[in-house]
Amino acid sequence: MILEERKKKIIYKKLYFRYTGNMKDAEQFKTEREEKFGGKIRFLSYARFIGRASTKKVLNRGGLLYVIGDNLYFEDFERTAGVMTMFNHKENYTKTELSFDLGEISMVKKINEKSAISSVRGNTEENQILPVTKGFLGFFVTPVVQIMVHNQTSLFLDIMDNDGFVTLINEYMTTKIP
């Protein structure tokens, strides 16, 4: 159990460092979020928020997706390094944050990234998207996650730990009390 916790800490720090470039702040970030939201982080992964269905705007915001208690959170961070900063090119940055209760999720499934982008652009109805193909044809698609939330349009995320996230949500949905 102790080894598993150490592995989680190492993975968490690598994820945070990968995105922010600052290893020292990783533990501070974790502590702040756990204090702010009143619980321990039980799932954490790097994720790319592609967008919401029918908004006509593909966002592609990279950040951290985490679960504390029965709530899901996503937040991106302003990138601090890159080729464009060498040329003093600064993009206008607007922070993206999402949060909702896991009980609001009506369905979660892995789908083809092209289908997700098509739905975000308004070309495909979110309830018409088929799950990712299994078998030989599945090797030729990039799987992303569609999260259907009650009374909201679907969210589409490319989650580094797609399988772990889908398993967590499906387990939650089968054990929650209606």
Query: Domains in the chain, please, with CATH?
Result: 2-175 (2.30.29.30)
Closest C-alpha among 38, 10, 40 to residue 26: 10
What b-and-e string marks burial along 40-78, b requiring 16 or more CB atoms within 10 Å of the CB? ebebbbbbbbbbbbeeeeebebbbbbbbbeebbbbbbbe
Phi/psi class of residue 58: alpha, beta or left (left: φ > 0; alpha: ψ in -120 to 50)? beta
pLDDT at 142: 86
Provide the 10 A C-beta neighbour count for residue 176: 11
Tens-place pLDDT, residues 78-111: 766 555 555 565 668 788 999 999 999 999 999 9
For the chain, residues with pLDDT lower than 50 are 1
- Measured in degrees and rounded to the nearest 5, phi and psi for residue 42 equal -110, -10
Report pLDDT for 129: 92
pTM to 2 decimal places = 0.80
Distance between CA atoms of 65 and 166, rounded to whole angstroms? 13
